[in-house]
Amino acid sequence: QVQLEESGGGLVQAGDSLRLSCAASGLTLSSRSMGWFRQAPGKEREFVAFISWNTVGTYYADSVKARFTISRDNAKNTLYLQMNSLKPDDTAVYYCAASVPFYSGSVHVPKGYNYWGQGTQVTVSS
C-alpha cells in the first residue's frame, strides 16, 4: 500500500521559512518524478514544484520561483520543499504527489499524479 505523508507545515509570519517533508512508504521515490501542489480555501489545487525521477529537471510555479526549492533524499525515501521568504499568499494546504509512470503530459496538472498525501497546512500571517 502506497502512502505519502507530509509534515512540516505550521503558522509563520511573512518573511519566515519552512521546510516541508513528504515521507513515502510502499513506493520507491527514486523511481518516480514528484511534485508539490497547494490548495487555498475556495481555490483550485495549483502546481508549486516538480522534480524529475533522476533529479535532473526541476520546475517551479512563477509565484514561488527563487523562493522555494524542491529536493529529494532517495536514501530516506523523502521529498522536501524548502520555502523561504514566505508571503500571506502562500497560505494553503500543501500536498506532495507521485507522478504517473511515463506520463508525457504537463507536470503542472494534477491528473499527471496518481498518489497523493493528505496535505499539511501552511499559514503565513502578515
Q: Does residue 67 have a pLDDT over 90?
A: yes
> For 19-53, b where at least 16 C-beta lie within 10 A, e where not — what string?
ebbbbbeebebeebbbbbbbeeeeeebebbbbbeb
As a whole number, the mean pLDDT across the chain is 95
Site of grid cell 496538472: 109
Q: Does residue 54 have a pLDDT over 90?
A: no
Q: Does residue 9 have a pLDDT over 90?
A: yes
Return the pLDDT at 105: 84
